[in-house]
Amino acid sequence: MTETTVAGQQMAPWWKTATGYQIYPRSFCDSNGDGIGDIPGIISRLDHLRDLGIGFIWLSPVYASPMADNGYDISDYRDIAPEFGTLEDFDRLVAEAKARDIRIVMDLVVNHSSSAHDWFRAACASRGAPEHDFYIWRDAAPDGGPPSDHQACFGGSAWTWVPEVERYYLGHFSPEQPDLNWQNPELRREIYDMMNWWFDRGIGGFRMDVISVIGKDVDAGVYEEGPYLHGFLQEMHRETLAGRDVVTVGESWSVSPETALSYCGRDRHELDMVFQFNHVTAFEDEVAGKWKPKPFDLRRFKAIFATWQGVMAEDGWNSLFLSNHDLPRQVSKYGDDGTFRVASAKMLATVIHLMKGTPFVYQGEEIGMTNVRFERIDQFRDVETLRQYTGKVAAGMAPETFIAGANENGRDNARTPMQWTAGAQAGFTDGTPWIEVNPNHRTINVAADRADPDGIFAFYRNLIALRRERPVVVAGRYLSFAQDNPAVFAFARDLDGERVAVIANFTGTPAEFDVPDGLAGAGTCLVANHAPRSELSGRITLAPFEAVAVLLAARGERDTQTEGAT
């Protein structure tokens, strides 16, 4: 490692060495006993995040909202929901975070607003109102029905009739989330002005909700990655992002290795990163989606990550995550939330944090929080789960079958309150939480995990520090190994003659592994969730969910020949 490289890394954008942490405000920390997490609650827990070493928080929406979709339905883009606090609280959050070297990245939800937004109220009152054209309206079909069969993501028709204007409007997610009409230049101006208003308040960037849907061509039935998308993103960049030291991550369920660089290639002037979901949708039914999961296959999983690492090898930048507020808990989904909970949580973190890109930790992941098990539909809160339940049970599905699916893949898994202590309501609230706490908070909680030097938190802190301290973790080339092995995820990272070898057993049984030449050698153990290894060679037996990363001592002429290196 040379001086120049270190200096070079320091000059890289801050978000390439930083680790992100997602907060779902409703579920993080309640300061006033109303059962709902809030901004003062977040401020009271910032030291936990400073200790973890993260560089920025992605804050799920805190804007004014009737909360049909917990804030992904915004009724005022320039105000804070009263249950979360005030603009003064928000400014204090930005300042208190900054004092701990943490930036605040907000959620930008501009594919749709809330149906309670003033714009939408005006739009529904008269066709002549200027705001009418801020939304997407179509006439009824000849039979009076909706203009197309398009179904809303959360169930039912995507079209809703408004008698006052005798037209249908589009709600691609739900009727409470009417789609904004990006074709209207005044609407775009409003959005850019609003973004600049938040930047001027000192935020560190935006995560952009379902951004790949804004360029849709409704009449052609093209919703994802429509023909206007990149023109709008380039305009947005010119009007808001250019010249600012901020980070942008666009969420897209449709982005593919083929289209990724059209969002974040260096000459595109659009976004810094995308959240892609290929590793999630690969294990879902093509039609029934997450309600009908496919069995996990490590070979496919590895191939997807290798492809994305390859696509971003020279240009663009990956985001790295297994969890967010829409997904089940990663230790339950990809690891083992029983016997091997701690080992498998650490194993998954090792793989994600040592790839090239910016890792995102979802609240509670750093202590190995698990899925929850609800028995009755009235315990669920998520709009998607509740609407799909109504639809599917009406269509004949047994309620128990649906509930089993929701326990496995539903969004409420990620939304049960953060488990701070073993005490009442997990230390999340003094009142009654808006959604039940997971009963396992008696053993799985921040206080217990942090008190354990071998805890998951300590392990994450080490991984996050490695990224800040070691250029090879940030910038090293990614090389795949043993791609056909169904049990072991193995890769290397290379920079300036340094190689880090990463080997992880994805199963709950011991795995015999023949160390490939490219990973063999002796050196310094950087990460281990079992006994540290400083030498990798020959046939090794990995313990269940064992993960290890070794910084190999420099070999004069390192053999860079690898199997299917990306």
Tokens of 535: 């030498």
Q: Of these residues, 179, 209, 336, 382, which one is catalytic?
A: 209
Lookup: tokens for 138: 């179509």
Which member of 30, 107, 272, 336 binds Ca ion (CB under 5 A)?
30
State the residue for tokens 């030449």. Answer: 517
Cβ–Cβ < 8 Å for 42, 377: no
Q: Could you say which of 58, 72, 137, 232 contacts ligand TEU (CB under 6 A)?
A: 72
- Distance of closest approach, residue 177 Cβ to ligand TEU, in angstroms: 6
Site string for ligand TEU, 253-292 (x = CB under 6 A): x------------------------------------x--
Name which of ligand TEU, Ca ion, none residue 326 binds, using a CB cut-off of 5 to 8 Å depending on partner kind: ligand TEU
Does the footprint of ligand TEU cover residue 208 (CB under 6 A)?
Answer: no
As measured in angstroms, the least distance from the Cβ of 52 to ligand TEU is 23
Shortest reach from residue 216's CB to ligand TEU, in Å: 13
- Of 283, 288, 289, 259, the C-alpha closest to 271 is 259
Smaller CB separation from ligand TEU, 48 or 290: 290
Is residue 336 annotated as a catalytic residue, yes or no?
no
Q: Show Cβ contacts of residue 105 under 8 Å, excluding neighbours closer than 6 positions.
A: 20, 56, 57, 58, 59, 203, 204, 205, 206, 207, 247, 249
Residue 32 contacts Ca ion per CB under 5 A: yes
Name the closest residue to Ca ion (Cβ). 38
Six-digit token string for 360? 């995102």
Residue closer to ligand TEU, measured from CB, 387 or 530: 387
Alpha carbon distance 82, 193 (integer Å): 23
For residue 495, the tally of other CB atoms under 10 A from its CB is: 18
Nearer to Ca ion, 34 or 96 (CB): 34
Length of the chain: 566
Q: Which of 210, 255, 444, 502 binds ligand TEU (CB under 6 A)?
A: 210
Cα separation of 136 and 176, whole Å? 14
Residue 501 host element (H or E): strand 498-505
Structure tokens at 487: 């049990």
109 in contact with ligand TEU (CB under 6 A)? yes
Member of 384, 412, 449, 494 binding ligand TEU (CB under 6 A): 384
Q: Which helix (H) or strand (E) holds 290?
A: strand 289-293
DSSP label of 325: T
Closest listed residue to residue 62, CA positions, set 50, 78, 46: 78
Does 326 help bind ligand TEU (rule: CB under 6 A)? yes
209 a catalytic residue: yes
Looking at residue 503, its amino acid is I
291 interacts with, out of ligand TEU, Ca ion, none, CB within 5 to 8 A per kind: none
Interface residues for ligand TEU in 431-470 (CB under 6 A)? none
Q: Interface with Ca ion includes 494 (CB under 5 A)?
A: no
Q: 384 contacts which partner out of ligand TEU, Ca ion, none, CB within 5 to 8 A by kind?
A: ligand TEU
Tokens of 20: 């992100």
Which residues make up the interface to Ca ion (CB under 5 A)?
30, 32, 34, 36, 38
Which residues make up the interface to ligand TEU (CB under 6 A)?
69, 72, 109, 153, 173, 209-210, 253, 290, 325-326, 384, 411
Show which residues are catalytic: 209, 251
